[in-house]
């Protein structure tokens, strides 16, 4: 209690405060724990009589009265009354949690991003990134009930439309469109949207007719269905922006967005990964399953020995290895084994890629123990054709198509791997690749590749 003197200063401080601080080793200044007013509880165990003080107090008045309780008496009382001890400890824990929460919600975001990295400061930019959107959703769920109930249908609509835009199957797309209409647009809708957003949802009958008309004249039939709710998406994002963006940016939830953004400039090293198990052994090294320590995501990591590669290819080994790395870095497709990270140390080159836990199709190849059914052959053929068309559209000739280079992912889709003998044309001049080299696995080579040494006729992407 500041100013306990019965004859107080005629001009007392109208708002006396007491600063509770702790000296930290290695710091020139003490850490301020809290600022208190008269009558506030000063410390749970910091100033008990019979114990060593763990902090100090500064008062902005000439005098102050601090009431200290004897530690021995408190401990004897708590030992004698266990129920009281439980309630007392609960009180201390609750009070400490409240202090921590108060510090969190009042703390301003001060995380600095690396130079050249811009923080997302619009809901549109946040919604474009799946992880950022989930963090925003978490923030909305933490708001008071009235605000939360108004924003929840908006953020759920954004999630549903994002899912719609990524659906690859046409029949599933149409079903998703109908589900969104039922959930948000009809009068008995499960989710109540603001009028300005609901009005942007297309009428089901007229909307379906418009989309079906566009579908009939569009080669990409699914595209029209994916964009049915673009206007509603824009309106929902605008409404979220208006209602809570400023609060979100000043909240502790936004620090997670900044942390993720900052990690985009973090260079990966072997210390960021934990090796889980051996997946396979190759001519130049091993493929192992790894777990990224900061997020728990699993990858396949190709570890190649520089010495073995140099012994095999001689002085030009770096160009050969860099070709595979540069090609994988340029490409990204759902039916490829996509490159996530690439780095090196003194002895090894390391490529971190998508993990396919189901193995390859080598058991279904020539002299394999198993056979695919006709429907399975059609499925594999269509997916392989799709990914090869993607490569050819990027002026890349694969040249090593075989069952061992076709992996199965966790969803049963075929993934193409190994660009060791691929050849790139010149995208800047739209020049496709051609070659007169006999490369690949002989039993799976196209005739023009296998006999090129005798025919001397250049071949192109058709060999795939």
Q: Kindly report the CATH number assigned to the domain that includes residue 304.
A: 3.30.200.20
pLDDT at 109 (0 to 100): 43
- How confident is the model over 50-69, as a mean pLDDT? 70
CATH number at residue 386: 1.10.510.10
Residue 341 lies in a domain: yes
- How confident is the model over 244-255, as a mean pLDDT? 90
Whether 58 and 76 share a structural domain: yes
Q: How confident is the model at residue 220 (pLDDT cuts 50, 70, 90)?
A: low
pLDDT at 309 (0 to 100): 86
Residue 110 lies in a domain: no
pLDDT at 461 (0 to 100): 92
Total domains present in the chain? 4
Q: How far apart are CA 318 and CA 60, in angstroms?
A: 69
The DSSP-derived string for 50-82 is: TS---SEEEESSS-B-----BHHHHHHHHHH-H
Whether 133 and 258 share a structural domain: yes
pLDDT at 336 (0 to 100): 93
* pLDDT at position 28 over 60: no
302 marked ligand binding residue: yes
Residue 4 lies in a domain: no
Q: How confident is the model at residue 8 (pLDDT cuts 50, 70, 90)?
A: very low
- How confident is the model over 27-49, as a mean pLDDT? 62
23-32, 153-162, 285-294, range with the lowest pLDDT: 23-32
Residue 234 lies in a domain: yes
Whether 138 and 254 share a structural domain: yes
* pLDDT at position 144 over 90: yes
Domain boundary among 263, 285, 315: 263
Torsion angle of C-alpha atoms 425, 427, 431, 432, degrees rounded to 10: 50
pLDDT at 190 (0 to 100): 63
How many CA atoms does the CB half-sphere of 314 hold within 13 Å? 0
pLDDT in tens, 381-401: 999 999 999 999 999 999 999
Whether 258 and 141 share a structural domain: yes
Percent of the chain with pLDDT strictly greater than 70 = 78
pLDDT at 142 (0 to 100): 93
Residue 59 lies in a domain: yes
Whether 254 and 137 share a structural domain: yes
* pLDDT at position 238 over 90: yes
CATH number at residue 152: 1.10.167.10
Question: In terms of residue numbers, what domain contains 55?
Answer: 18-105
The DSSP-derived string for 132-197 is: HHHHHHHHHHTS-HHHHHHHHHHHHHHHHHHHHHT---HHHHHHHHHHHIIIIISTT-SS---HHH
Residue 8 lies in a domain: no
Q: Which residue has the higher pLDDT, 320 or 194?
A: 194
pTM exceeding 0.85: no
Whether 137 and 241 share a structural domain: yes
Domain boundary among 263, 286, 304: 263
Whether 452 and 373 share a structural domain: yes
pLDDT in tens, 82-131: 888 888 888 878 877 776 666 555 444 445 555 666 788 899 999 999 89
Residue 114 lies in a domain: no
Whether 236 and 132 share a structural domain: yes
pLDDT at 217 (0 to 100): 52
* CB-based contact 407:280 (threshold 8 Å): no
Domain boundary among 240, 263, 286: 263
Whether 286 and 385 share a structural domain: no
* CB-based contact 256:109 (threshold 8 Å): no
pLDDT in tens, 412-428: 899 999 888 889 998 88
- How confident is the model over 222-228, as a mean pLDDT? 79
pLDDT at 33 (0 to 100): 59
pLDDT in tens, 149-170: 999 999 999 999 998 888 877 8
Q: How confident is the model at residue 67 (pLDDT cuts 50, 70, 90)?
A: confident
Whether 185 and 61 share a structural domain: no
* pLDDT at position 32 over 90: no
Instruction: Determine the length of the chain.
Output: 464
pLDDT at 4 (0 to 100): 47
pLDDT in tens, 303-349: 988 888 888 878 778 877 788 888 888 899 999 999 999 988 888 89
**Paired strand residues for 278:** 288
Instruction: Calculate the average pLDDT of the chain.
Output: 81
Whether 177 and 92 share a structural domain: no
Residue 295 lies in a domain: yes
Look up residue 49 and give its DSSP letter. B
- SS3 for 74-120, per residue? HHHHHHHCHHHHHHHHHHHHHHHHHHHHHHHHHCCCCCCCCCCCCCC
Look up residue 300 and give its DSSP letter. E
Q: How far apart are CA 440 and CA 418, in angstroms?
A: 11
Q: What is the largest CA-CA distance in the chain?
A: 114
* pLDDT at position 447 over 70: yes
Whether 371 and 315 share a structural domain: no
- How confident is the model over 281-290, as a mean pLDDT? 85
Q: How far apart are CA 213 and CA 399, in angstroms?
A: 41
């Amino acid at each position: 209690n500041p100013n306990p003197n019965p004859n107080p200063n005629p001009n007392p401080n109208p708002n006396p405060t007491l600063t509770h601080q702790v000296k930290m080793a290695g710091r020139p200044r003490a850490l301020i724990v809290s600022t208190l007013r008269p009558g506030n509880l000063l410390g749970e165990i910091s100033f008990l009589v019979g114990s060593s003080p763990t902090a100090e107090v500064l008062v902005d008045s000439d005098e102050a009265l601090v009431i200290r309780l004897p530690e021995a008496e408190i401990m004897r009382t708590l030992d004698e009354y266990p129920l009281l001890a439980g309630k007392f400890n609960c009180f201390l824990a609750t009070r400490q949690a409240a202090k921590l929460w108060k510090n969190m919600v009042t703390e301003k975001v001060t995380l600095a991003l690396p130079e050249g990295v811009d923080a997302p400061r619009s809901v549109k930019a946040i919604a474009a990134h799946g992880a950022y959107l989930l963090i925003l959703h978490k923030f909305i769920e933490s708001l008071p009930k009235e605000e939360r109930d108004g924003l929840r249908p908006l953020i759920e609509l954004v999630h549903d439309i994002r899912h719609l835009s990524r659906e690859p199957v046409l029949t599933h797309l149409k079903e998703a469109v109908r589900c969104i209409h039922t959930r948000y647009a009809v009068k008995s809708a499960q989710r109540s949207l603001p009028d300005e957003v609901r009005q942007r949802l297309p009428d089901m009958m007229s909307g379906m007719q418009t989309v079906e008309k566009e579908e009939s004249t569009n080669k990409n039939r699914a595209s029209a269905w994916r964009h049915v709710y673009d206007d509603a998406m824009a309106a929902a994002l605008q409404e979220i922006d208006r209602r809570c963006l400023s609060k979100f940016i000043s909240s502790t939830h936004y620090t997670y967005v900044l942390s993720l953004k900052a990690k985009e400039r973090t260079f990966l090293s072997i210390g960021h990964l934990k090796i889980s198990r051996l997946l396979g052994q190759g001519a130049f090294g091993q493929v192992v399953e790894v777990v990224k320590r900061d997020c728990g995501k699993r990858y396949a990591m190709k570890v190649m020995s520089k010495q073995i590669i140099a012994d095999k290819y001689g002085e030009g080994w770096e160009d050969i290895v860099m070709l595979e790395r540069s090609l994988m870095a340029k490409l990204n497709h759902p039916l490829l084994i996509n490159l996530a990270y690439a780095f090196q140390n003194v002895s090894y080159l390391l490529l971190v890629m998508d993990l396919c836990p189901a193995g390859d199709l080598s058991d279904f190849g020539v002299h394999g123990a198993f056979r695919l059914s006709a429907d399975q052959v059609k499925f594999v053929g269509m997916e392989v054709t799709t990914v090869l068309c993607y490569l050819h559209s990027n002026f890349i000739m694969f040249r090593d198509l075989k069952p061992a280079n076709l992996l199965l992912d966790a969803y049963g889709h075929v993934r193409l791997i190994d660009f060791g003998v691929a050849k790139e044309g010149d995208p800047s001049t739209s020049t496709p690749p051609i070659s007169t080299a006999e490369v690949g696995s002989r039993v799976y080579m196209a005739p023009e590749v296998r006999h090129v040494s005798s025919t001397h006729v250049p071949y192109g992407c058709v060999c795939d």
